[in-house]
A and B are shown apart, each in its own frame.
Chain A
């Protein structure tokens, strides 16, 4: 009863903060922008939030995070629209939706596919937020007993999990993580004041800013990629015919898929590294396994849209659990959100819930509001989103460059930073060409310095004894999971690919 009462208090504080007119406006702007960037291929939530970071510097943090939360949820939803209508996933997490969603469009059931995605996203987003609300405080209780050794171990887990799962190829995933860690060591060592890898360049003493790295790898890299390959263009134009609403049979098939997708998505989202894309793949696979008509998948099965779309939205809620409760991001977007917390001088983790309860609960409450706004906004706006696709990619990317340059310049008023962004964009191009995933690089840059500090603190406390990491049970257990994250996928692949 006490716990429930406390939850009621938290929600009162949260909705009190989120329902301020200005914050409601930020929420509405966030979901609208999020949906738009979800529709546009190549531009994702991580990129958008990093472009907005310099802009939000002077803002009240509560408003800024409500904006970011809206973008995150909105982008997860927006990716579905273009997948269904023109088989062009705006985000990687909507790839599975494109399979059956586009088939449905060709059969004239595009409206129903969009509706099942919208309602599924709403249900998943709402339930994921409820679970976030219930799970985060439990995790906070647990985390209060954590010392530097446990935190260091957790970060190792986040890094290896993302490296091991993100790209499919473990070697390339690890390479990406290590490159990010290496970039993170540039600058002055905070513990001893020793300059590292600065090559006498003044602009590097403060280290590479996370925003600089994200904009360079995601935004500028994306533009170079587009310039040289012209991939992501050439959309087939879509039409919506027939009723845009679900038939009785479609409802019956969608409802269980939504709930399976929600559960799969939320728990996949909590795991560091797995994220929305993996969640949507798992959900699609689950739907095909439980379906009485597995042959229909790939030919327009509505469960193939309902499950993955619910899963990718629920995973966004799930991924906020470790970010808020432990301060450990598990994906590209949450890594940028961690950078935003750092920009405001806030450290996510157990203390955040105690010291900044208005911010935390305001963000959580705003996610409920975002969900309602998304549903209200999207059902009538579908036709507008389709029109947005007709903006030529060339103009879009040129505008991204102009905006990115400016955002980076204003961080420190330095053109040097813009050069760094540009160089990272070139690096991103070559990494991408060799299918090295980019999100683990960003995570490495964000987590590397934190991991190093926690690691050194743990060793300093133990008096130089490295065994603390394996003798403390929680730390040892987490490190075992980290090891499994790298070793299990290749073993599974080997076993399943071996001819019988």
Chain B
């Protein structure tokens, strides 16, 4: 497989699944619609498949060369995932402070102490703005 084709192939598979899903959408019984709920998704699915075939079959334009540090990207995504799970368990305040600190380190910062102070400040001010001023309810968790 030529480099840069991974996305085309993945999206092609997704599009075929989408198209098959579109074929299974039916108008609910006892309802009339000149154009049913499945027609539009069907057209989009066909469009996607054609577009990806076009991209897959034409001569390669040579994708923009971007140096990707996969380790940093995956780590950053993993930390985010853990954060989302923790959000429900320990609440917004307890989850966000360590998250912002660790995430800024992953993004290249090397000053632990400053990052910690900044993340406490960001978390506290966002919390104050949403929960206290605007009256939204944030995930309560441990510190309600």
Chain A interfacial positions (CB closer than 8 Å to B) = 54-55, 58, 169, 171-172, 174-175, 178-179, 181-182, 185, 189, 191-194, 196-197, 220, 223-224, 226-231, 233, 392-395, 397-399, 401-403, 405-406, 409-410, 413, 415, 418-419, 422, 426, 429-431, 433-436, 448, 452, 455-456, 459-460, 463-464
Contact = CB atoms under 8 A, between A and B. Distances in A.
Given A181-B44, A459-B34, A405 B28 contact: no
Contacts of B113: none
A410 B81 contact: no
B73 A429 contact: yes
B43 to A, nearest CB: 9
A224 B100 contact: no
Nearest to B85: A415
B126 A452 contact: no
B45 A182 contact: yes
A226 B68 CA distance: 10
28 contacts: A55-B134, A179-B11, A182-B45, A182-B48, A185-B40, A185-B41, A192-B31, A192-B33, A192-B36, A193-B31, A196-B41, A224-B73, A227-B69, A227-B76, A227-B107, A228-B76, A229-B67, A394-B105, A394-B115, A395-B118, A397-B104, A398-B103, A401-B100, A402-B119, A405-B87, A409-B139, A422-B81, A459-B35
B131 to A, nearest CB: 9
B114 to A, nearest CB: 8
Interface in B45-84: 45, 47-48, 51-52, 54-55, 58, 61, 63-64, 66-70, 72-73, 75-77, 80-81, 83-84
B106 interface: yes
Interface string B7-31: 1100100010010010001111001
B79 to A, nearest CB: 9
Interface string B115-141: 100110011001001100010111100
Contacts of A410: 130, 136-138
A185 B139 contact: no
B87 to A, nearest CB: 6
B141 to A, nearest CB: 11
Contact of B100 (A185, A197, A399, A431): A399
Q: Report whether over half of chain A's contact residues are helix, strand or loop; otherwise say mixed.
A: helix
Q: Which of B52, B136, B138 has the most CB of A within 10 A?
A: B136
Contacts of A402: 96, 99-100, 119, 122-123, 126
Given A410-B136, A413-B137, A194 B27 contact: yes
Q: How large is the interface on B (under 10, 10 to 19, 20 to 34, 35 or more residues)?
A: 35 or more
Contact of B52 (A175, A224, A418): A175
Given A405-B83, A455-B40, 8 more contacts: A189-B37, A194-B28, A393-B108, A394-B107, A394-B109, A403-B126, A406-B92, A431-B7
A426 B77 contact: yes
Nearest to B81: A422
Contacts of B104: 392, 394-395, 397-398
A178 B47 contact: yes
Contacts of A430: 7
A429 B70 CA distance: 12
A434 B4 contact: yes
A54 B129 CA distance: 12
A405 B139 CA distance: 11
Contacts of B28: 192-194
A194 B37 contact: yes
Given A393-B107, A415-B139, A433 B66 contact: yes
Minimum-distance CB pairs A-B, first 8: A228-B73, A394-B107, A227-B76, A394-B109, A189-B37, A398-B104, A194-B37, A410-B136
B42 to A, nearest CB: 10
Contacts of B8: 434
Contact of B7 (A185, A191, A433): A433
Contacts of B83: 405
Contacts of B72: 227-228
A76 B15 CA distance: 36
A175 B51 contact: yes
B69 A456 contact: no
Contacts of B137: 410, 413
B34 A464 contact: yes
Given A185-B41, A410-B138, A464-B34, A401 B68 contact: no
